[in-house]
Amino acid sequence: MRLKKKHAPYVFISPFFILFFIFGAFPILFSLYLSFFRWDGMSAMRFVGIENYQFVLTDPWFWQSIFNTLSIAIMTTIPQHVFAIGFAFILHRGMVKFKEFFRTAYFLPYITAPVAVAMIFTTLFGSPFGILNATLNGLLSLPLIGNLLELLNISSPIRWLSDPNFIRPSVAALLTWRFTGWNIIIYYAGLQKISNGIYEAASIDGASTRQTFFKITLPLLRPIMFFAMLMSIIGNMQIFDEPIILLGAMGGTNRAGLTTAMYLYQTAFGWTEFGTGSAIAYVLCVFIVIASIIFNKYFRREI
C-alpha cells in the first residue's frame, strides 16, 4: 500500500511525537504533578497546592540564582557569537590556508566531556599556584604591562574560583572556550548556503571585505544567527555541568556561581525537596520562554 501525500507528513513526524510522549512528556507531567506536593522521595506525598511556587518566588536564593544564570549567560553568549561569526567568516571566505586545521582545532573543546574540561580548568585556575596566576605573576613583573595592571587594581594571585567577583567571569570564560567552536561550525554551515554569486557581484562592484561582511554576510546569515543565538540562550539558561563540577553543588563562595539549574538540582537531590525542585523547574521554564520571546522581538527588529 502506498503512502498518500495527505497522510505522509503525519507518518513522518509521528516517531518524534510517539517517543516524546513516552520518554519526555511523562516525566515532565509527573514533575508538574510533583510541584504541587511536598515529597522527600520516600515518605508519603503531601498535597500543598501552590505553596511550592509561593516559596520559590519569594526565595532570595532563587532570585540570586536567576541573576547568576543571566549574568553568566550574557558574559558568555556575546563573546561566543562575536568570535564565532568572525572566525567562521575568515575561514569561509578562503582568506587563509589550513582551514581544516583551524576548524578542527576550534571545535575540540566542544567535543570534550564536561568532566574532563572541568578537571583541566581546575588546574589552570588554581590559586595561588595555577598556571593563570603564574602567567599573571610574569605579567606583573614586566615594566609597562605590570604598571597598567596595577593601575587596574589587579594583584596576584587572583582566586579565580573562590573570589566571588571572579567566579562568574571564570565560569563564563570556560563556557566561551567550550562553545565558541560549536558556533563556528554552525555559522560555517550557514555561510555555505550563501551563494558565491552574490560575493562575486559584490567584488565586481568593488566592495571591500568589511562592506561585504556587514552588507552581505551578516544580513544573509540572519536565520542562522537567530537559530544559533536562540540555542545559546536556551542552553545557557540551563547551565549546569560545568559550574557544578568546577564549584561544587552550592556554587562556590557566596553562591556566586549558583545557577538556577544547580539550585534546582540541589533542592531536589541534595535536600530531597522534589516538589519544590519541580516548581523551580517550571518557573525556570517560564523564564526561558520569556527570554526567548524577548530575544525574538528584539532580534527581528534590530537586524
Partner 1 sequence: MKRKSIFSLVVMAAVIGVLLFSASASVMAQDEEVTITVGTWADESFEAAVELFNDKYPNINVELQLAAIEDHHDNLLTRLAAGGEVPDVAYLEDQYISTLAARGGFVDLSQEPYNGDQYKDKLVGYPFAQATTQDGQLVAMPTDVAPGTIFYRHDRLEELGVDIEDIKTFEDWIEVGKKFTESGENRWLIGDVANIYTMMVNGSSTDRFFNENGELVINSPRFLKAFRTAKEVRDMGLDAEISEWTNEWFTVLREGQVLMQPSGAWLGGHLKEWIAPETAGKWRVTSFPEGYDGPWGGSFAGIPKSSDNKEAAWKFIEFMATDRAVQWSNFRIADMFPTIEDLYDHEAFAEEIDFYGGQKARLVWKETILNIPAINTNQHDSFVMDMMGNALGEVLEGNKTPEEALNETETLIERRIRR
Partner 2 sequence: MKKKNYAGQSSGKFMKLFKKILLYTVLLFGVLATLFPFFYMIVLATRGRSEIFSYPPPLWFGDSLAENYNSLMASLPFYKNILNSLIVSTSATVLTLFFCALGGYGFAKYEFKGKNKLFFLMLSTMMIPMLLGVIPWYIMMTEFGWLNSFKPLIIPGAANAFGIFLMTQFMEDIPDELMEAARIDGAGEFEMFYKIVLPLSLPGLGTLAILTFLGSWNNYMQALLVLESEAKYTIPVALSMLRGKVDQNWGAQMVGTAMGIAPIIGVFMLASKQFIAGITEGSIKG
The only residue of 1, 5, 15, 42 in contact with partner 1, by rule CB under 8 A: 42
For residue 253, state whether it binds partner 1 (rule: CB under 8 A): yes
Provide, rounded to whole angstroms, the least separation between the CB of residue 136 and partner 1: 15
The DSSP annotation for 200-235 comes to HHHHHTT--HHHIIIIIIHHHTHHHHHHHHHHHHHH
Binding mask 175-214 for partner 1 (x = CB under 8 A): ----------------------------------------
The only residue of 271, 290, 294, 303 in contact with partner 1, by rule CB under 8 A: 271
Where is 37: in which H helix or E strand?
Answer: strand 37-38
**Longest CA–CA separation in the chain, Å:** 82
What does R_g of the chain's alpha carbons equal in angstroms?
A: 24
Where is 47: in which H helix or E strand?
Answer: strand 46-47
Q: Please choose which of partner 1, partner 2, none residue 113 contacts, taking the beta carbon within 5 to 8 angstroms, the exact cut-off set by kind.
A: partner 2
- DSSP H helical segments within 125-163, as ranges? 131-141, 143-151
Which residue, 88 or 167, is less far from partner 1 as judged by CB? 167
- State the cell numbers at 277: 525542585
Beta-ladder partners of 37 = 47
Provide, rounded to whole angstroms, the least separation between the CB of residue 210 and partner 1: 46
Which parts of 57-86 interact with partner 1 (CB under 8 A)? Answer: 60-61
Given the rule CB under 8 A, which residues bind partner 1?
38, 40-43, 51, 55, 60-61, 122-123, 126-130, 159, 162-164, 248-250, 253-255, 266, 269-272, 274
